[in-house]
């Protein structure tokens, strides 16, 4: 059976979009449950300004509260050197930086141009290399942008290539709005694969239009074997209020298994975590 990895992002990319206040104990319990499910990597924290992402203000407490499981890496989002230093102090095993494929999205979300965002990552990359920590690079809006419409695949390829050249060990391609059609995802991947090898790419597909699993199949055909997902479908798309956001981990695992891929996950434990996640959404 061919191996495929699900990179669990629910505790970070999922919970950061939930409106209700979720306590540290609940977050810790979710991460600990996920730790028993067989994930190689869990994105458990985000060291960004609590002014912008209040749900993630307790990330340091969450990292201090979890029970690390052997063989599981705990990752965090770090937009700048200050965030990186907090993640390092919290004991994270890897960090992620985030960029966008369009100027409009970059300015709206990062308050700077794409080029400026990449420049900001340089100190983070240098520190991570010195500390021996891997860095993941996210690229947002890889097919559709709320400000610029359809995204040029070449623009995605340039940003992905830049992140890889800076030292990112992996680049996650974010179909942020969940509107990407399989044929356009395929065109985007064809362009990106000219800059970054398939083994260094991950697919991050939102399910707003119900096409995430179809897009994962397109990515599989292009050689990708790593996919981001959020247990219980945690999170939502800020540009499509009320719509589904992150594709659910359990759905991705089931589709991959049906296609003959081994994720190494204990689906009973994943189901337990999904139930916890759904309860959080109802708060």
**Residues listed for the chain:** 283
Averaged pLDDT, 51-63? 85
pLDDT in tens, 11-35: 998 888 777 778 999 999 999 999 9
Report how many domains make up the chain: 1
The answer to whether residues 135 and 167 touch, using CB atoms and an 8 Å cutoff, is yes
> pLDDT confidence of 282, banded at 50, 70, 90?
low
Instruction: Please tell me the chain's helix, strand, coil percentages from 3-state DSSP, rounded to the nearest 5.
Output: 45, 20, 35
Interatomic CA distance for residues 257 and 267, integer angstroms:
11
The more confident residue out of 62 and 22 is 62
33 labelled catalytic: no
pLDDT in tens, 237-271: 544 444 467 899 999 999 999 999 999 999 999 99
Domain that holds residue 170: 2-281
Lowest mean pLDDT among 148-157, 187-196, 203-212: 203-212
Lowest mean pLDDT among 3-7, 49-53, 68-72, 166-170: 49-53
Q: Give me the catalytic one of 92, 145, 168, 237.
A: 237
Interatomic CA distance for residues 255 and 29, integer angstroms:
26
91: domain CATH number is: 3.20.20.70
pLDDT in tens, 86-98: 999 999 999 999 9
């Amino acid at each position: 059976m061919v191996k495929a990895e699900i990179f669990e992002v629910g505790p970070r990319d999922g919970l950061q979009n939930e409106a209700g206040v979720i306590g540290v104990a609940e977050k810790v319990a979710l991460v600990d449950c996920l730790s028993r499910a067989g994930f190689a990597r869990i994105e458990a924290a985000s060291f960004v300004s609590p002014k912008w992402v209040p749900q993630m203000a307790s990330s340091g407490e969450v990292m201090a509260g979890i029970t690390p499981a052997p063989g599981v890496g705990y990752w965090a989002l770090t937009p700048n050197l200050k965030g990186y230093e907090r993640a390092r102090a919290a004991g994270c095993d890897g960090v992620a930086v985030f960029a966008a494929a369009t100027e409009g999205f970059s300015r709206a979300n990062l308050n700077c141009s794409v080029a400026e965002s990449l420049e900001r990552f340089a100190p983070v990359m240098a520190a991570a290399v010195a500390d021996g920590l891997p860095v993941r690079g996210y690229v947002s809006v890889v097919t559709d942008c709320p400000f610029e419409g359809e995204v040029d695949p070449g623009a995605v390829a340039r940003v992905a290539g830049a992140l890889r050249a800076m030292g990112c060990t992996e680049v996650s391609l974010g179909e942020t709005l969940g509107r990407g059609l399989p044929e356009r995802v395929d065109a985007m991947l064809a362009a990106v694969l000219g800059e970054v090898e398939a083994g260094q790419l991950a697919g991050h597909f939102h399910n707003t239009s119900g096409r995430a699993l179809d897009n994962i199949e397109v990515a599989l055909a292009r050689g990708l074997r790593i996919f981001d997902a959020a247990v219980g479908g945690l999170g939502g798309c800020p540009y499509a209020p009320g719509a589904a956001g992150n594709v659910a981990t359990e759905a991705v695992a089931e589709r991959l298994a049906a296609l003959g891929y081994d994720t190494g996950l204990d689906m009973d434990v994943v189901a337990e975590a999904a139930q916890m996640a759904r309860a959080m959404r109802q708060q």
